[in-house]
Amino acid sequence: MGVMADKQEKPQNIFNFDYTRDGRERPPQDYYEQIKEKFASERELRLGYRPPGTENYTSDLTGDLAKYAVDPYGQELEDREALNDEVEVLFIGGGFSALLTSARLREKGVESIRIVERGADVGGTWYWNRYPGVACDVVAYDYLPLLDETGYVPTRHYAGGQEIYEYCKMIAERFNLYDLAVFGTTVTSTIWDAESETWKVETDQGDTIKARFVVCANGTLSKPRLAKIDGVESFGGYSFHTSRWDYEYTGAELENLKDKRVGIIGTGASAVQAIPELGKAAKELYIFQRTPSSIDVRDDWETDPEWASTLEPGWQAARRTRAIEGPQISDSVRARREAMSREEKVQRQENANIDAMMRIHNRIDEVVEDPETAESLKPWYMLMCKRPCFHNEYLPTFNRPNVTLVDTKGQGITQINESGPEFDGVQYEVDVLIYATGFEVQQTGIYNQIIGEGGVDLNAKYSNGIRTLLGIHSQGYPNLFIMGGYQAFFAFNLTDVLNSQGEHIADCIDFVRQNDIHSLDCTHDAEERWVQEVIDHRGKTSRNRDCTPGYYNFEGADNRRQDGNYNGTMKQYLGHMSEIRENMADHFVFTHRHEALQS
Ligand code: NDP
């Protein structure tokens, strides 16, 4: 195998430190302890500035803030009559969750599938996020799902947003998902009707749709949020959120920004990709930073056509199996690990993590010319406390004469007035202000009220702690499936999780259809077992306690142990899924309603 092909075969592993090796000389432990103290003080500094948890954000984009949620891409949608009909499977949301699960349902012969989507097309996150420079940091050969089925080979190691969006549309075409889909439509309520044992789904377009199965496929980061900053509404210039990029204003190539002073608030993964493009295009660019992201090298290349031509159907599945198995560990490494105490292991892992972060710091010093700016760009937290970023143009952007980093040193922008943000007594005058402030995190049923058996609102049920089986089923919500929610495994490659959830859901639906059953609902005991399983696996790391605030650790707030992701391994998660599907009667109750519904 050639070097290039060999490289392309390699699975991505962003957190693969061999902490067992003693080959080179390391600094004394004191050095690491001092850095950890600095991490802790930077965390405390940030927590001291903010209200707890997510309270420093708002995703209630109504009233003066409603313009930040408007879809700038959906103008071409035609008016349509309100629907009053029935389908077998209804998806709330048309991103990868719906596309993947639908593909599996089609394989099982399910015909009546309707996607109800807020955007004007399928694609979910890739429909909304079209900011300049948008791309995915997960290797495309793993991130783009269903490559075996569609025969598509991504053009690059890391696909750009446009390619992924086009691919989503290709999947929808391929599996005939446009036929019944409705766009520009938001589901507002999903109510279980005990008599007909179907879900009654209502939308903001006046539709009433009955569905035997409902899949909450609304994504994990779908609803844009703004930082709560005094005076947001008083800004006199133009402003928008990264997920609602206004190309009419900026121009398709950002050409309209050449005489504009541009401000961007936030330096998370979205901003890191947009900033290099803005730096090239804007007359002046001001970057308002609260906490820097970690920026590592982006090892990107065009797909080698020779390698692509060797791929046989099944290649992606084989790749996935290898990734789930994890990196091969040699016998000597395993032996070294086993010989270590837990304390030693943790200390070595932390030290290796700090080494990686210091490598990231060194790269900043090498690239960024102004020492003060370089210092400001250094992230003081463990790798993976925040979403790691990979970019080759981000750091050099700060060497441009038209680019200014405004380091708020953990405080964030707290004041905006008519001419722009104000910080530390300095007024920054800008013509356009871009909010790169992220999204509300992992809410099941955003925009939507879900009411199950006995009239119980899902949020009310969750108010004493999330309760699910696999993060997918919740007792009292028969034939309802949740994708990408809490209590499920969460991976850097999210489509991998969605893929397995899609397979599971399609199998459950198929089970119901094949066994003369009408509905399935998980039992209280099965749910309880899963809640305990989630709790048992949480608290394995001290990330919540030690990490700088961010959405990975609930912005530094304490939270119930059950209200997060399942922290076992992907392999364990898949194992639980298989066991449950092999013994359905141990985990679910079934109803038998004999009037067969149309499929
Ligand atoms: P994030 O939530 O990650 O970032 C929000 C940013 O806003 C943070 O930098 C935050 O600072 C900052 N912020 C909040 N309030 C203020 C304030 N008052 N003043 C200044 N800054 C402020 O959102 P993103 O949209 O960047 O990313 C969301 C997620 O989407 C990513 O984590 C990733 O999972 C995914 N994504 C993946 C990409 C990829 O594959 N490359 C690209 C883009 C997104 P602080 O850090 O201090 O909280």
**Three-state secondary structure string covering 390-448:** ECCCHHHHCCCCCEEEEECCCCCCCEEECCEEEECCEECCCCEEEECCCECCCCCCCCC
The closest residue, in CA terms, to atom 5 on ligand 1 is: 437
What does each C-alpha distance from 452 to 194, 199, 293, 458 come to in angstroms?
A: 9, 9, 41, 7
Q: At 240, which helix (H) or strand (E)?
A: strand 238-241
Q: How many whole angstroms from its chain centre is CA 3? A: 32
The closest residue, in CA terms, to atom 48 on ligand 1 is: 550
- pTM for this one? 0.95
CA-to-CA distance for 295 and 396, rounded, in angstroms? 12
Predicted pLDDT at 325: 81
Predicted pLDDT at 134: 98
Q: Which residues line ligand 1 (CB under 6 A)?
A: 136-137, 221, 227, 229, 242, 265-271, 273, 288, 290-291, 387, 408, 412-413, 436-439, 550-551
Radius of gyration in angstroms for the set of CA atoms belonging to the chain, rounded to a whole number: 25
Ligand 1 centroid from CA 319, angstroms: 30
Q: Closest Cα partner for 290 from 578, 47, 461?
A: 47
Ligand 1 atom closest to Cα of residue 268: 26
Reduced to 3 states, what is the DSSP secondary structure of residue 296?
Answer: strand
8 A C-beta contact, residue 208 and residue 86: no
8 A C-beta contact, residue 423 and residue 408: yes
Ligand 1 atom closest to Cα of residue 138: 40
Q: What are phi and psi of 347, to 5 degrees?
A: -65, -40
Best substitution site from 267, 289, 392 to test ligand 1's pocket, by max atoms within 8 Å of Cβ?
A: 267
Ligand 1 centroid from CA 44, angstroms: 19
Ligand 1 centroid from CA 157, angstroms: 23
Predicted pLDDT at 253: 98
Q: Closest Cα partner for 487 from 541, 551, 538?
A: 538
Ligand 1 centroid from CA 145, angstroms: 25
Strands ordered across the beta sheet of 284-289: 238-241, 432-435, 261-265, 284-289, 403-407
Predicted pLDDT at 594: 52
**For every one of its 599 residues, what pLDDT tens digit does the chain have, with 9 covering 90 and above?**
455 666 666 656 666 666 776 656 788 999 999 999 999 999 999 999 988 788 899 999 999 999 999 999 987 788 899 999 999 999 999 999 999 999 999 999 999 999 999 999 999 999 999 999 999 999 999 999 999 999 999 999 999 999 999 999 999 999 999 999 999 999 999 999 999 999 999 999 999 999 999 999 999 999 999 999 999 999 999 999 999 999 999 999 999 999 999 999 999 999 999 999 999 999 999 999 999 999 999 999 999 999 999 999 999 999 998 888 877 778 888 888 888 898 888 899 899 999 999 999 999 999 999 999 999 999 999 999 999 999 999 999 999 999 999 999 999 999 999 999 999 999 999 999 999 999 998 788 889 999 999 999 999 999 999 999 999 999 999 999 999 999 999 888 999 999 999 999 999 999 999 999 999 999 999 999 999 999 999 876 677 788 999 888 888 887 778 888 999 999 999 999 999 999 999 999 999 875 444 44
The closest residue, in CA terms, to atom 21 on ligand 1 is: 266
Ligand 1 centroid from CA 267, angstroms: 6
Ligand 1 atom closest to Cα of residue 229: 18
Q: Closest Cα partner for 368 from 386, 389, 394, 345?
A: 394
The closest residue, in CA terms, to atom 31 on ligand 1 is: 269
